[in-house]
């Protein structure tokens, strides 16, 4: 792994301030230095996801809190000293309900449950990565995690890294992981191609970030399911240095 890449980085290394709220809503996936794309650069960017991905678009129920770069399935961040600051009101999100083990007998919405499922799966796959130095690359089939009530959360939280190690080996998953650039990127836009000319063209993106009618620079794309239970198929990162802005977009295919 390159010293210019950090997978599952710490919140403190990704977000500039208000860590309490950034921890409530986001999942830090990857930090990388722009030297990977341009040797003259020395700036860190970050790819993050959100905990409340489940059904529909993130942010679609809260249009009153949208900004130029934060809309449905699009999240804008101001870049300050190499770290991110969410550029919209926290009410853009619908939930931050943490379900404790003492509350399994209570009623929660499916979104609340999936918010906790995504956090739990993220922590499990982070632990796997920290132990093995690679993303989880086995075949997982656990019907108990697909039921519609809170028992799926209880069952997920009971899983350990050792359980994942016992999963069935998958040549397909291993090959898929090996094809990722630096073990994580579906695409890293080293050639500075336009989004339309890239291998991952974002045809199904709900929104794309523009400034004065021009799309922000397309930087990278990763697969969301490597990190959480419910996820975007692809997570895109866009960047504009002139306004110190990073934008994350979610695509479902």
Contact 236, 242 (CB under 8 A): no
Whole domain around residue 30: which residue ranges? Answer: 5-251
pLDDT of residue 116: 98
pLDDT of residue 253: 85
pLDDT of residue 65: 98
Digit-by-digit pLDDT tens for the chain (253 residues) are 479 999 999 999 999 999 999 999 999 999 999 999 999 999 999 999 999 999 899 999 999 999 999 999 999 999 999 999 999 999 999 999 999 999 999 999 999 999 999 999 999 999 999 999 999 999 988 888 988 899 999 999 999 999 999 999 999 888 988 899 999 999 999 999 999 999 999 999 999 999 999 999 999 999 999 999 999 999 999 999 999 999 999 999 8
pLDDT of residue 148: 84
pTM, entire model: 0.95
pLDDT of residue 215: 97
Contacts of 25 (CB under 8 A, 6+ apart): 50, 51, 52, 86, 90, 93, 96
Q: How many domains does the chain have?
A: 1
The per-residue pLDDT for range 118-130, each reduced to its tens digit, is: 999 999 999 999 9
pLDDT of residue 144: 87
**What's the rounded Cα separation, in Å, for the pair 84 and 187?**
22
pLDDT of residue 96: 97
pLDDT of residue 140: 86
């Amino acid at each position: 792994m390159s010293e210019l890449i950090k997978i599952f980085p710490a919140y403190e290394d990704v977000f500039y301030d208000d860590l309490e709220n950034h921890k409530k809503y986001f999942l830090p996936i990857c930090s990388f230095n722009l030297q990977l794309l341009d040797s003259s650069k020395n700036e860190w960017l970050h790819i993050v996801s959100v905990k409340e991905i489940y059904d529909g678009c993130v942010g679609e129920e809260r249009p009153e809190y949208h900004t130029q770069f934060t809309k449905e399935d699009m999240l804008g961040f101001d870049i300050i000293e190499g770290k991110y600051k969410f550029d919209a009101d926290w009410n853009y999100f619908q939930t931050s309900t943490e379900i404790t083990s003492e509350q399994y007998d209570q009623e929660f919405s499916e979104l609340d449950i999936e918010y906790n499922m995504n956090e739990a799966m993220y922590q499990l796959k982070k632990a796997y990565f920290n132990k093995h130095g690679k993303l989880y690359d086995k075949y997982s089939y656990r019907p108990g995690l697909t039921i519609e009530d809170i028992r799926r959360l209880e069952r997920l939280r009971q899983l350990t890294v050792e359980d994942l190690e016992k999963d069935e080996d998958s040549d397909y998953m291993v090959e898929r992981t090996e094809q990722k650039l630096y073990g994580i990127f579906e695409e890293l836009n080293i050639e500075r191609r336009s989004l339309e000319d890239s291998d991952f063209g974002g045809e199904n993106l709900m929104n794309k970030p523009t400034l004065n009618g021009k799309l922000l620079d397309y930087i990278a794309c990763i697969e969301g399911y490597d990190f959480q239970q419910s996820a975007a198929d692809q997570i895109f990162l866009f960047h504009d240095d002139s306004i110190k802005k990073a934008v994350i977009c979610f695509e479902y295919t």
